[in-house]
Each structure stands twice: as C-alpha cells, then as structure tokens.
Amino acid sequence: MFRRFCSFLSVIAVSFAVAAANVCASDEDILTIEQSAVRIRNNETVDIAIGFNLSEPIRGVQFTVSYDYGKFEVSKVTKGDAADDAVVSRIDTETFGKVNVAIIYDSEYRYNGQICTITLISREKTGLGESLVNVRGITFTDKDNKNVKCGDMSTKVELYSDNHPATETPVTEAPINETLHSTEQPTRPSAGKSSGGGGGSFGVSGNNVTETTSPMATATAEPEEITPTKQSCGFTDIAGHWAEADIEYLYDAGIINGVSDTEFMPEQNVTRAEFVKMIFEIADFGEITENPFDDITENAWYYEPVLKAYSAGIVNGYDVKFLPEQNITREEMAVIADRCIKLLGYERPVVNELVFADAETFSNWSRDAIARMAGMGLLNGKDADFAPKEYTTRAQAAAVIKRIYDFHN
C-alpha cells in the first residue's frame, strides 16, 4: 500500500497577484507525493507517484524530479490520468539524474489528478543510507494563464542490506539545499592512506590506518567492526546540521578531521589544498611527475596530494602558483570533482542544458563540469542557483566527497 504524505511549503513567492497566489495558498494546494516503499535493498525498485490536489483550478503544471544518479536510475515512467487528459504531456527522462515533467490543458480546468509514477531502481553497487528525491521548480498555470511558482518538495528513500539493516527511526522531511546524504552507521575501514605528516583540517585521522597502494581498497576490504554512537566523532557543532551524517561517516572512515577534537565548523570555508586532500583520500592519483608551483614546498602537509593531483590532471594552478590557502569556489570544486570521476574510469554524461537560474554567471571553463556533476546527482544547487563564485563550505565539501565515494563504491 502506498504511503501518502504531502509537504506544506511554508515559503511562497509573494510577488504574484493575490488571485494567482491562491493556487499555492494552503497545505492542500500542492503536488502530492506517494511512494510504494521507504526502504529498499540494492536492485529493488520504488515507485514515486506524483499528483496534485488543488482548491483552485489550473490549466497546466511543470516541475523537475531530481534523484541521486549515483544511487538510482529510472526503470520506467507511467503516465497518470492527469497527463493522459492533457493536450500536452511531456515527460523527459533523457537527462541523467532528472525527470522533466510538463502538462498543459486546452480548455479544461483541473483541480486534481495523478500526473505520473516514476519507478526508480537502486544501483547494484551503491552506498547505503538515505537519499532524497526532490521535486523542484513547481510552476502552476492558473485559469487566467498566469504562472504561479511554488516551493520545492522532497521525499526520502533509504537503501539498506541484510548486513546493514534499515534504521528504526521514522523517515522525515529534510531541507533541500545540499542534502543528498547517507545516514548509514559507518564502519572504519581496515586499510587506507596514511596522512603522511599531516596537517590541514581535512587530513585522515591517523588511527588504525595503514598505507596501501590502492586507496579504493577500502571499499572492498573486510571492515573492522565498530559500534558508533551518535556523533561518534565528538563534534559538538554538527548536531542537526544537514551534513551531519556525511561528516560523521567520512570521519569514521578516516577521510576527514575536524578543526579540533570537538569542532568541525561546517560553515567555515574550505581552501584549495584542503579540498584536494579530501579527494586524494578517495582516489588514486598515481605518482608525482613534476612540481611547477613555487608555493608548494616539500615540507607542506599538502605537498603530496596537490602534486599528485596536478600530475594526474585533476588540478591546475595560476601560472606558477597553486594558491593552496585560497578558498575554493563552488565552480572550482565542480571541475575537480568532474576530473576525479573521469580519472576513476566513469563515463560522464553529455548534458546540454544548464538548469540553474544563474547559469550565465558560470565561467566558460566550468560550465560543462557543473552540468555533468549536477546531472549525475553529485552536485546540488542552492535553491534555483548554483552560486559558482561563492566559496565552498566544509559541509558542502564533505557532502560532495561522500557522494563521489558512494558513487564509486
């Protein structure tokens, strides 16, 4: 039996005319989401059924359903009665990680109906834990042909295995921004990279970690069982944060550290060297071939990860400078993530459409990378924008690293 729930959008654009705004006026006036299951195993499917139930009639609706392409793919899409009755019913599944939906009626007005059911199948080798399915860009066309934009909605699907049973806590709503994350209780790998002198606030923890020639061996090595407790990392400033589960997992996996034993500072900016060090912990960059940077010295804690990343074609500098202590922008992060996915041997999708409202602000060198990483579900925007020039926070960086780690494992 379907589990039905409807999310009230508390913040609605107020710039529309009062008559038009009535379409999204109450908790009954919004798309409805029903799902066939809240917890599934790998290679199992979940149906996400989307409809609408309004107090004001409409002539059309459009929205985009986004999902974590590293965890799911679309198995099939079935049209509902509301789409079959429309003069235009477009459901596009060609874009990785997204389903674009639009229905338009000719002379008929509709108050309710079932638009479509999207069947997602979880990938065979995917990370466990919770993943969001988001419905974004919800726009109704009212009976006066005015477009009324409403807020976003989301629902969760939890992936689990027999060895990692589903959590007993109820599935709840989560914020949209940068929230694709896992809530799996982590285990510490028995093998991984040593920090090699370690500095920096994103180094490995150094406990029970030995050197290995393949950093991805941690994905298949027999784990050393631990029994983590809530905030096993001890950070007191991440409780309730949207990236809490990602931060705890990466800490327990030996991939990141805090700025102290009790603080992670999730909203603090990340430097270029710190983000490269994080990527370095989950991907094999090979050997150092040269050092073209006069600001990267052998005694620096980031010497090895930065130069190996450069030698592998993951990062570039600015003439003879790498600027390791400079904060990394979101578009720089996207490019590094994109190159890392290529290095790991994955085919990246060709994405011709940039879905972010601020796409015109993207640098030419970052446009394709942002489109690909967003299309694969490895990067999220900030509401309708991507904010390419903004600095990346430690929480955002942790979330992206966790998604890449899940995608590869």
- d(CA 374, CA 387) in angstroms, rounded, equals 13
- d(CA 192, CA 259) in angstroms, rounded, equals 21
* Extents of the domains making up the chain: 3-159, 215-328+391-408
**CATH says 3-159 is which class?**
mainly beta
Start-end of H helices in 210-302? 244-252, 272-280
Q: Tell me how far CA of residue 203 lies from CA of 31, 74, 299, 301, in angstroms.
A: 44, 37, 15, 9
- d(CA 45, CA 119) in angstroms, rounded, equals 6
Query: How are beta strands 129-142 and 147-149 bridged, if at all?
Result: antiparallel
- d(CA 307, CA 315) in angstroms, rounded, equals 9
According to the model, what pLDDT value does residue 300 have?
Answer: 92
- The neighbouring-strand residues paired with 393 are 269
Q: Tell me how far CA of residue 195 lies from CA of 202, 224, 301, 359, in angstroms.
A: 10, 19, 9, 38
- The neighbouring-strand residues paired with 65 are 99, 135
Q: Tell me how far CA of residue 368 lies from CA of 14, 213, 364, in angstroms.
A: 34, 32, 8
Task: Please check whether residue 327 is in contact with residue 392, taking contact to mean a CB–CB distance below 8 angstroms.
Answer: yes
According to the model, what pLDDT value does residue 126 have?
Answer: 57
* CA atoms within a 13 Å half-sphere pointing along the CA-CB vector of 39: 16
- d(CA 376, CA 152) in angstroms, rounded, equals 20
Q: Tell me how far CA of residue 328 lies from CA of 173, 274, 361, in angstroms.
A: 30, 9, 17
The residues of the chain scoring below 70 in pLDDT are 1-29, 69-70, 94-96, 124-128, 161-232, 352-353
In this structure, the number of other CB atoms found within 10 A of the CB of residue 363 comes to 14
According to the model, what pLDDT value does residue 9 have?
Answer: 23
According to the model, what pLDDT value does residue 39 have?
Answer: 86
H/E segment holding residue 111: strand 110-122
Instruction: Note the pTM of the prediction, 2 decimals.
Output: 0.48
- d(CA 22, CA 294) in angstroms, rounded, equals 61
Structure tokens at 233: 């990392």
- Summarised one tens digit per residue, pLDDT across range 181-230 is 233 333 333 333 433 333 333 332 232 222 222 222 222 333 333 333 33
* CA atoms within a 13 Å half-sphere pointing along the CA-CB vector of 69: 22
According to the model, what pLDDT value does residue 325 have?
Answer: 92
